[in-house]
Structure 1
Amino acid sequence: MQATLCILTILLAVLTLLPLSRARVWWVRIWDFPRSQLAVLLGLLWLAQAIWLDFSSAGAWLLVAVAGACLAYQMWWILPYTRLWRHEVRWADAEDVGPRLRLLAANVLTPNRNAPALLELVAQHRPQVLVTLETDAWWQQQLQPLERDYPYRVACPLDNLYGIHLYSQLPLDDVDIRFLVEDDVPSIHASVLLQPGEGSRPEVRVRMHFLHPAPPSPTENDESTERDVELVMVAKSLEGETGPVVVAGDLNDVAWSPTTRLFRKISGLLDPRVGRGMVNTFHARFWPARWPLDHVFHSDHFELIQMRRLPSFGSDHFPVMIELQYHPSNPHQQEGLQANAQDREEVAELLDEQNASPSDVPEPTAQQR
């Protein structure tokens, strides 16, 4: 038993330390994902060590120390996504009468054929903006009933698991479909008219980016480079933006990974899950291996009304819905992650290495006037 505990301690320590490497190969970066699962395993290992190790030897204490350090390190990453952490985004005031944005994001899984269940979820929750990922021509046809209530639409049907569609009840402007990094991986960029300027009410336009970069995996990309570059390009294009912004989609990256944290630092966007929960959206069919892959980040012009995972409709992802309250007096009262010189140097190196330019990212109008 002691030999088994020693082997398990070494294995979990290696899996904990592996992501410290800046290597982008998939078999390294994949260990950014299951930090909560590794934390559970480390906690169980620690308990087993306490029961079965012989603490008369220095080696037993060393194993306990290694397991405890690894557990503490994993918890450092995931604790912000528990109720033990301070909220990054404030709850909206129930009496606030400003405009609200209700958005639903759903990765449908192209081979999934349960379109009626998704239509039912849309009818039940009535989002103003719906973004669907992995939607091909078949899915576009099945979602045609939405066109009656969603007069503003953007379609990019593909049969390679990277099709994307946008349905909106709110007027769209500056609409652009771009293949930012890979020729077969599109993203949608648009300005959404949240509130028309009428009488004393100011016009509010939200700059929105809908993304679905390819993940690092043996069946997709051998490295995380393509995903990382796309996220960094969008983040850099948002740096200095003073108007309201929302970025949503399946980023194929977990909320706590170095890349997503770098995206938040550079873009200045907030994560409403901090202090509230992980909102795990993948894998819908295999509960022991779930983590947050579908994200909605926003500028500090918004406060949170609700964010929740919706029931499964046959995809490997759960859909996620968020409702935000626009609050024009809110800027700089909510604060997220802050970039330092090392972060900016990392971004510059990555963009230079891949010859990528943030100027390739569309900049839809964002204004509050």
Structure 2
Amino acid sequence: MLNALVLVMTVWFFPTSLSERIVGGLLLLNFIYLLYLVLPFTPFSKKQIMRSRHLAGKNNIKLLIANVYQDNRQSDAYHELIKECDPDVILLVETNRWWAERMDSISDAYPHQLKEPLENTYGMMLYSRLELFGGSVNYLVEADVPSIEVNVKLLSGQLVKLFCLHPQPPVPQENPRSTERDKEILLVAKKAKRSKIPVLVAGDLNDVAWSYTTELFGKISGLLDPRRGRGFFNSFNAKHFFLRFPLDHIFCSTDFTLTSIKRMQSCGSDHFPMFVDFQYDPVAEVIQEEPEVAKDDVELADEKLTKV
């Protein structure tokens, strides 16, 4: 958007000198490149995941994910959101002990839980009314940044592997480089690829949907993005309407179809919650194609995984 604004202003004032025309040309080329990056996430592109053949059933799984913002105190808004969405699985990140106490009241409806509340903005809590098996809280890259790996049992009896993550963003006040974030994302990609059962990956990846790292994640994992061909679903920053990006993600393996995807209303956080309803459908695996992965992609992923 900023690129387009500057480009319009440049044309409006009509560059006269050679240097101004060169800058205008570079802005135009950059704008075309950015359009190329985001085009797959517009309705003008092919949908990566087909719509579910049935609206509901025992093979459906409804997920609600939300970065609550640790200092946010509007916990009641999330309780209302849970009532509205009626999800099967809830993932909350940036949750500390205060948030754990405020969410205790949903335990009767969501008795299956994996919780790691922390005071460093990387706490994570998973609630499920579907049975959970073999769950673990892991610290894949950094000693204070957890992730979750667990098997979820659908009402049909089908097991689904769920990975939840919230890697540290590459920002000056926390970590000036993206090495740790990229490494965690790609470690989960490798784990997802090795899974013998259907896979879902959810969380705040602190990376936009069209970045090279997220694209590489899709290629290495073989997972699909429900936003492709449907929209951006910009989840951050909820407080600035003019500057928003899709940072909160839910990916699935090729044996899932999409029943619905929604960006929900703000609940006081700087992130909008995301709600996605998937349906496990083995027929879709024959129709839907995994992202193509080249030898160079595998080599780049391996290189990123060895960086320290």
Q: Does TM, normalized by the shorter one, top 0.5?
A: yes
Q: 1:300 to 1:73 in 2, by over 3 A?
A: same
Counterpart of 2:161 in structure 1 is 207
Tell me if the contact between 1:88 and 1:336 (Cα under 8 Å) persists in the aligned partners: no
Deviations 1:316-366 (CA, angstroms, capped at 9, x unpaired): 111110001111211142124311111111111122233xxxxxxxxxxxx
What aligned pairs does 1:223-262 form with structure 2 within 5 A after superposition? Answer: 223-262=177-216
| Partner Cα distance (2:287, 2:196) in 1 | 14
Mapping for residues 22-101 of structure 1, pairs under 5 Å: 40-53=1-14, 61-94=21-54, 97=57, 99-101=59-61
* Structure 1 CA distance for aligned equivalents of residues 262 and 228 of structure 2: 13
Pick one of 106, 128, 135 that aligns with 2:66: 106
1:187 Cα deviation from its structure 2 partner: 0.7
Secondary structure of the 1:120 match is helix
Query: C-alpha distance in 1, partners of 2:45/2:61?
Result: 25
Instruction: Answer whether contact 2:64 2:91 (CA < 8 A) is retained.
Output: yes
Question: Aligned residue for 1:175?
Answer: 135
TM-score (norm 2): 0.95
Instruction: Give 1:335's match in structure 2, choosing from 289, 296, 307.
Output: 289
Separation (CA, whole Å) in 2 of partners of 1:180 and 1:96: 35
Name structure 1 gaps, 5 residues minimum. 1-39, 197-202, 355-369
Deviation sequence 1:6-62 (CA, Å, 0-9, x none)? xxxxxxxxxxxxxxxxxxxxxxxxxxxxxxxxxx2332333333332256x665654
Give the SS at the match of 2:61: strand
Residues 98 and 327 in structure 1, CA contact (< 8 A), matched pair in contact too: no
Match of 2:103 among 143, 155, 171: 143
Residues 178-197 of structure 1 show CA distances to partners (whole Å, capped at 9, x for unaligned) of: 0111101011110000134x
Residue 286 of structure 1: how far off its partner (Å)? 1.1
TM-score using structure 1 length = 0.80
Whether contact under 8 Å (2:58, 2:154) holds in the other structure is no
Q: Hey, what's the Cα distance between the residues in 2 that align with 1:72 and 1:182? A: 37
Give the Cα–Cα distance (whole angstroms) in 2 for the partners of residues 84 and 206 of structure 1. Answer: 31
Counterparts in 2 of 1:45 and 1:301: CA distance versus 1, 3 Å: same
Counterpart pick for 1:324 among 266, 273, 278: 278
Single out whichever of 239-248 and 132-141 deviates more from structure 2.
239-248
Match of residue 150, structure 2, among 171, 174, 190: 190
Distance 1:227 1:259 in 2: 9
Structure 1 residue aligned with 2:175, among 221, 239, 260?
221
Q: Name structure 2 gaps, 5 residues minimum.
A: none
Partners of 1:312 and 1:126 in 2: CA distance: 17
CA RMSD of aligned residues (A): 1.7
| More moved, 57-66 vs 187-196 | 57-66
Letter in 2 for 1:239: K
- Please report how far the alpha carbon of residue 97 of structure 1 lies from its aligned counterpart in structure 2 after TM superposition: 4.5
- Give the conservation status (yes or no) of the 8 Å contact 1:88–1:274: yes
Matching residue of 2:92: 132
Identity %: 39
Q: Could you tell me how far 1:98 is from its partner in structure 2?
A: 5.2
Q: Secondary structure at the match of 2:118?
A: coil
Show the counterpart of 2:236.
282
SS in 2 for 1:132: strand
Deviations 1:267-323 (A, max 9, x none): 000000001111111111111221011000000111111111111111111111000
1:352 aligned to 2:294? no
1 CA distance for matches of 2:53 and 2:140?
A: 38
Question: Which whole-Å CA distance do the structure 2 matches of 1:305 and 1:269 have between them?
Answer: 17
Shift of 1:118: 0.3
After superposition, give the CA deviation of every residue in 1:220-250 in whole Å (9 maximum; x if it has no partner).
1121111010011111122243421000001
Please identify the structure whose Cα radius of gyration is greater. 1
